[in-house]
Amino acid sequence: MSCRGPKLSDRHTASKAGPVNLRPYLTPKYVGMRRDLERFLHDYSFDRAHNGIRTLGRTPAETLKAAVRL
């Protein structure tokens, strides 16, 4: 009996079914990135209050709306 452990062929029995390509699942899709960007921009512009000198705690959309009324 060997102390080295199982043979290489015994450890990799799952590879007998063929190589598994995981790359399509690991690369980001354009549609998903676009959706994430749109969610971020909406949150940044309409939901998140900014603390700049001229924004006074308002969102950029509220600041722009006030500037257009002037």
Tens-digit pLDDT profile for residues 17-61: 566 666 666 667 788 889 999 999 999 999 998 888 888 889 999
What is the mean pLDDT of the segment spanning 5-10? 55
Domain boundaries, the chain: 28-70
Question: So what's the pLDDT on residue 37?
Answer: 93
Higher pLDDT, 67 or 14: 67
Which among 41, 59, 62, 42 has a CA at the least distance from the CA of 50? 59
d(CA 35, CA 39): 6
pLDDT at position 33 = 87
